[in-house]
Structure 1
Amino acid sequence: MSAEPTPASTGAPAATGSGGAPGAAGAEATTGSPAPPKARIALWDNARFVLIVLVVVGHTISTVRTDSEFGFALYAYIYLFHMPAMILLSGLFSKPEVSPKAVRSTVQLLAVWLIWEGIWALIHLFVEGRGPGPGFLVAPAWTLWFLVTLVTMRIALPYIARLRHPLLFSIAVALIAGLSPAIGTDFSASRTLCFLPFFVAGWLIRDRGWLDGAWFMTPAPAARVAGWGILAAVAAAFVLLPQLRETWRIDRWLTWRDGYDWLFAHAPIGDWEPTTWAAISAGGIAVAAGLLAVAAMMTFAILLVVPRGHSVITVWGSRTLFVYLLHGPIVWVLRETGVVGGISSLGQGGLALLVAIGILLAALLSMTWVTRVFKPIIEPPIDWALARISR
């Protein structure tokens, strides 16, 4: 456990930290003196860094994932759970309240999104010569969907928390979302609905103390073995299905942005390609439920095996918002200049090199100097835009 102070959380991948343990929330109000800094729990920051590495690696290999069976399997393995797990961690430190702190963090997320939409618009303008199209601010630029999704989830959480069965409700919403082809990438609607169960589960874990026991915080060797076993079992499934790329384009399902009708038309499972609305709906819900269940198991497994002790990755894990936003332009340049394609053409060794580049990039963008230089566009000051709250 770390003793670092925990600043206000944005609910996004941690920038300067949101991995603190529950503290005396009302200490300042009841004693009249400032509450002591909350102790950080290294587990959550360690998990964040592991997941942000997977994000960067996944984006690095995404455009060449179909070049080889191994690349396709690696991409699908990562995408099965890395964003559900990241969103669960974001929900873990979100609260169903409209407090000044919650409003500030949500407004800051909106500000970061708008700043980075502008950055991406300038990149496309100066590099490709094209200005913002009709989808500007409607369809979030590449990785920015995550910020829009988190803002939407944070706004919706106070209402969802009032329901008798919030988790069941969110699961139902996630499964029903694919029934409508109108729910797509605009304002990240599809991903928001499909990933909602993980955000709600994260809030419930913290609110109801589901993982507070020693069995999880200091798991026994048998529990860790079980976690590794789950991760290995999924990996073994890909090994046993070497022709998965030709049989099922599961990667298209794992982006969680298209309706069931489109998915069955463009990514049928073998010869299974239902055509009637009822069959498409039932089949789509069944497949989505299975994928969500696998994501939940793998998320739980990765949290079991992540180190509990404080180390350098704990510090890096408190800066993942910097990595998340800054790696996008770098990977984009590597793609557009043909570097990624050229390395991929080297075969399995090339794919391994791309994975290593992704890991190295995540580590480099976690450096202290990066947070200092890019703080204005990652954690922009927004207090000037907020009304002063009198105590």
Structure 2
Amino acid sequence: MGRQGKRAGTGGGKAREAYFDNVKYLTIVLVACGHAWEPLTYGSRAVTAVYLTVYAFHMPAFALVSGYFSRSFDMAPGRLKRLVSGVVVPYVVFEVAYTLFYRWRQDDPEYPISLLDPWYLMWFLVALFIWRLSTPLWMQLRHPVPVALAIGTAVSMWPGAGGDLALQRVLQFLPFFVVGLVLRPEHFSRLRSWRTRLSLLPVGLAAVVAAYWVAPWFDAGWFYHRGSVVGRGVPAWAGLWATPALFVLALILTACFLAWVPGRRLWFTALGAGTIYAYLLHGFVIKASRFGAWYDHPWLHTPMGELAVTATAVTGITLLCTQPVRRVFRYVVEPPMDWAFRRPEPEQRPEESAEERQKVTSGGG
């Protein structure tokens, strides 16, 4: 691959890794800002507009990138072990930790611990576990994205679906994960050409203007996908058009975002490897701000206060991605689990038939 491919961030290995680390870092920054902005939306149309724009695509982008990096998941023992150690164990640990945190801050010692009812942002680990386990099936389907979108649409119309394990949310965000599964490096290379970048710029600006226009009356809950569309005050059949429309909108805005993420190595590139730490830990700060009524200070609802909240969110989430934080929390976020699994036995290659040897030597099969 020549220089041009490396600049695109999807050709040579290091350039590609830098691009996706940048994507991960900037996505988690948007997640943190979105959570920090939410209390400010009740008094500021401008903040609401930015909040709606970000929420229209930031979790879909998170799911899409997760899907892209799950393409090789094939139920191999090593990958299953990493799924348990990197998703299941952190889910159990942090679900219990968040519940205990709630009990302490709300003085509610009877608040139940339930692994079937993900608390706050823990739903995403449940989603990642379910999505990744289903990856081999999606990779075998001829048209995986339409099938996943049909499932998400059907669930959005079913008020009684998915009470446990946040399945309503998991299945409605599923199509974005499946889109990530079918993407290839060349798709990102085309997306990041200057012609595409410039063509998407007015699209992103138009989205912000539209968000400002609808801010006084639009319900941000449409972007959360926590339940069925009936909960938004519309009939169930509205999901037939609302869910696909929101899917298309999210993909367009995700494309706008991904197109403008820099592909070169920057000061924050290395922080992209620590986004799961930031995701799991920042929820304690966000919830503490709600429990402690931090936003009751009037100054925070002024333009300077809103900028201060944004700067604090960016700084805080950046610190949570750093190496010292990762060293401290590694044993609960990425615990070594070799002690829990049997060592793999040496592989014994079966006797090859003459036909199989011919396929190998001739390049067939």
TM-score (norm 2): 0.85
> Mind listing any 5+ residue stretches in structure 2 that lack a counterpart?
2-8, 347-365
Q: Is the 8 A contact 2:41 2:47 kept in 1?
A: yes
**Counterpart Cα distance in 1 of 2:120 and 2:332:** 17
Distance 1:144 1:20 in 2: 31
The answer on whether the counterparts of 1:121 and 1:131 sit within 8 Å (CA) in structure 2 is no
Q: How does 1:161-180 map to 2 (within 5 A)?
A: 161-180=139-158
Matched to 2:243, the amino acid is: A
Partner in structure 2 of residue 12 of structure 1: none
Per the alignment, in what secondary structure is the counterpart of residue 204 of structure 2? helix
> 1:39/1:228 Cα in 2 relative to 1: closer, same or farther (>3 Å)?
closer
Equivalent in the alignment of 1:351 = 306
CA contact (8 A) 2:45 2:216 kept: no
Residue 255 of structure 2 corresponds to 300
In the TM superposition, what is the alpha-carbon distance from 1:93 to its structure 2 partner? 0.9
Partner of 2:36: 60
How far apart are 1:57 and its partner, in Å? Answer: 0.6
Deviation at 1:261, TM superposition (A): 1.5
Q: 1:151 and 1:67 mapped to 2: Cα distance? A: 38
Alpha-carbon distance in structure 2 between the residues aligned to 1:169 and 1:135: 34
1:283 maps to 238
**Code of the aligned partner of 2:171:** L
What SS does structure 2 have at the residue aligned with 1:139? coil
Amino acid in the other structure paired with 1:333: A
State the 1:96 CA deviation: 4.3
- Residue of structure 1 in register with 2:217 after alignment: 247
How far apart, CA to CA, are the structure 1 residues paired with 2:79 and 2:12? 16
Q: Choose 75-84 or 375-384, whichever is displaced more.
A: 375-384
Which deviates more from structure 2 when the two are superposed, residues 142-151 or residues 229-238? 229-238
Give structure 1 regions of 4+ aligned residues with deviation exceeding 6 angstroms: 19-23
1:259–1:314 distance in 2 versus 1, CA, 3 Å: same
Instruction: Give the Å deviation of 1:237.
Output: 1.2
Instruction: State which of 86, 101, 110 in structure 1 corresponds to 2:78.
Output: 101
* Larger displacement relative to structure 2 (379-388 or 321-330): 379-388
Pair 385,132 (structure 1): closer, same or farther in 2 beyond 3 Å: farther
The equivalent residue for 1:221 is 194
Deviations 1:226-252 (A, max 9, x none): 23222112112123x1xx344331x01
Partner of 2:97: 119
**Is 1:234 matched up with 2:207?**
yes
Q: CA–CA distance in 2 between the matches of 1:358 and 1:185?
A: 31
The one-letter amino acid of 1:248's match is F
CA spacing shift, 1:22–1:191, aligned 2, 3 Å: farther
1:390 equivalent to 2:342? Answer no
| Counterpart Cα distance in 1 of 2:271 and 2:319 | 10
- In structure 2, do the counterparts of structure 1 residues 332 and 70 end up closer, same or farther at CA, with 3 Å as the change threshold? same
Structure 1 segment 310-349 matched on structure 2, within 5 A: 310-342=265-297, 345-349=300-304
CA shift, 1:138, in A, is 1.7
* Cα offset, 1:148, TM superposition: 0.5
Cα drift, residue 295 of structure 1: 0.3
Determine if the alignment matches structure 1 residue 141 to structure 2 residue 81.
no
| Structure 2 counterpart SS, 1:312 | coil
> Does the 8 A contact of 1:64 with 1:341 survive in 2?
no
Letter in 2 for 1:201: V
Q: Report if aligned partners of 1:92, 1:202 keep a CA contact under 8 Å in 2.
A: yes
The offset of 1:200, in angstroms, is 0.9
Alpha carbons of structure 1 residues 134 and 170: separation in structure 2 relative to 1, 3 Å: same
For 2:243 and 2:254, locate their aligned partners in 1 and report how far apart those are by CA, in whole Å.
16
The answer on whether the counterparts of 1:90 and 1:199 sit within 8 Å (CA) in structure 2 is yes
Whole-Å separation in 2 of the counterparts to 1:44 and 1:384: 32
Is the Cα contact below 8 Å between 1:56 and 1:327 reproduced in 2? yes
Cα distance in 2 for residues equivalent to 1:245 and 1:355: 19
Determine which structure has the larger helix proportion and give its number. 2
- How many angstroms apart in 2 are the aligned matches of 1:228 and 1:386? 49
Change (3 A) 1:252 1:39: closer
Match of 2:67 among 68, 91, 96: 91
Tell me the C-alpha RMSD between the 2 structures.
2.4
Structure 2: which amino acid aligns with 1:362? I
Query: Are the structure 2 counterparts of residues 132 and 91 from structure 1 closer, same or farther at C-alpha, using a change threshold of 3 Å?
Result: farther
Question: Contact 1:177/1:190 (CA < 8 Å) preserved in 2?
Answer: yes
1:170-197 deviations in Å (ceiling 9; x for gaps): 0111111111111245312012111111
How many residues are matched? Answer: 337
Shift of 1:20: 10
Please give the TM-score of this superposition, normalised by the length of structure 1.
0.80
- Please identify the structure whose Cα radius of gyration is greater: 2
Tell me the distance in 2 between the aligned counterparts of 1:40 and 1:286. 36
Offset at residue 385 of structure 1 (A): 1.7
Give the conservation status (yes or no) of the 8 Å contact 1:323–1:366: yes
* SS of equivalent residue, structure 2 residue 227: coil
Equivalent position amino acid for 1:224 in 2: R
